[in-house]
Amino acid sequence: MASDVGADRTSRKGGAATIYDVAELAGVSPSTVSRALGKPGRISAATETRIRAAAEQLNFRINPVARALHTGRTHTLALVVADITNPVIFDIVRGAEQAASAGGYTLVIAESQESGEAETEAVRRLLPSVDGVILATTRLANPVIAELARQKPLVLINRAVDGVAAILPDVKEGVAALLDHLFDLGHQSIAYLSGPATSWVSARRWEHLLEQSEQRGIAVVEIGPNAPTIDGGRAAIRRVRAANATAVVAFNDLIAIGLMQGLADAGIQVPDELSIAGFDDIFGSELIVPALTTVRSQLELAGKRATSHLLAQLRGDEASVEEELLSTQLVVRGSTASSPALKRDAGPRDQLSTMS
């Protein structure tokens, strides 16, 4: 009967129920309804329960635009990514969405297609209608990011800018584990297939590869920049062969997979003739044959933590701006093996001894 009364009330007035309908049905003022539904806990539990029951009866939903006019908040967050088709983004989006939903926020996603200009335009369009922004895999210059952070709460993923909160993978940890693995396999010459020239994390991976290779006495060369895609990996085959390295470390798993596909087409055996490794451990890295050795990043957690930092800023928490490092983990699979040079140096007797 109560449901019929609510439906009859809205049908007589036409359209969706309003906050005034809820107030009338619950016997309270519209401002009390606003407090009950917008900021729970500010009125008595009994009154709040009555108001929520009335709202449910009328199928009332808060209009985010109307609430924004009153509070200055839209309860909407923006997540801007470079390439929505990159599997790296899937887990970041999942983590960010979970944290946003738990905080009572809606997450909207925009893509720049690896273009700094498109990213700038997308962010500027979004700023008036969102409460905060997460830039994941951003291609913007540092001054542009700093300026955006002065306009709206902002958090970065896989990028560091002074004074801006950031969620970062522990690049040094991951590179060290990967180089130790390749060194133990006897590799003394490595090629790094870098990502886009504007990628902060690609530059950091190269810096740590260069520094730690020198420490281990390993020869290393950078080949790039490369598009962070399967086609980008395929396009690098000629340069990889010219480098005459025994192992290749790719900026990401997509480049590594593309390289492996191209090498297979060219009749080059992985890992017997060339070891390949990547970064991120995306979906599909274990499905290619041989399965890809990679450095796993905590992508879903990165999305969650970035959103949590953003919500903390919106609450006005006094915690200082900081960079949060997330641990990385080496995942060894079939795409890496002993260096071909090591196998050549071993005589027949040594090889028989190894096999026995």
Give the tens place of pLDDT for each residue, 279-302: 999 999 999 999 999 999 999 999
Question: How far from chain centre, in Å, is Cα 268?
Answer: 33
What is the structure's pLDDT at 30?
84
> Sorting pLDDT into bands at 50, 70 and 90, what band is 230?
very high
Residues of the chain with pLDDT > 90, as a percent, come to 64
Does the structure show a pLDDT above 60 at 4?
A: no
Question: How far from chain centre, in Å, is Cα 288?
Answer: 22
Mean pLDDT calculated for residue range 23-40:
82
> Sorting pLDDT into bands at 50, 70 and 90, what band is 59?
confident
Domains, in order of start, for the chain: 2-62 (1.10.260.40), 74-169+300-327 (3.40.50.2300), 171-297+330-345 (3.40.50.2300)
What is the structure's pLDDT at 20?
87
Closest listed residue to residue 133, CA positions, set 82, 89, 88, 81: 81
Closest listed residue to residue 233, CA positions, set 260, 212, 206: 260
- Measured CA to CA in angstroms, residue 150 lies from 127, 153, 193, 212 at distances of 12, 7, 35, 37
Residues of the chain with pLDDT > 70, as a percent, come to 86
pLDDT digits (tens, 9 = 90+) for 298-350: 999 999 999 999 999 998 875 556 789 999 999 999 999 999 876 555 544 44
Contacts of 81 (CB under 8 A, 6+ apart): 89, 92, 93, 109, 110, 111, 112, 136, 137
Q: Mean pLDDT across the chain, nearest whole number?
A: 87
- Are β-strands 329-331 and 293-296 bridged in parallel, bridged antiparallel, or unpaired? antiparallel
Token representation of residue 203 = 């530059």
Give the helix ranges, DSSP H, for 152-285: 171-184, 200-216, 230-235, 237-243, 253-265
If phi > 0 it is left, if psi is from -120 to 50 it is alpha, else beta; for residue 224 that is left
If phi > 0 it is left, if psi is from -120 to 50 it is alpha, else beta; for residue 257 that is alpha
What is the structure's pLDDT at 9?
53
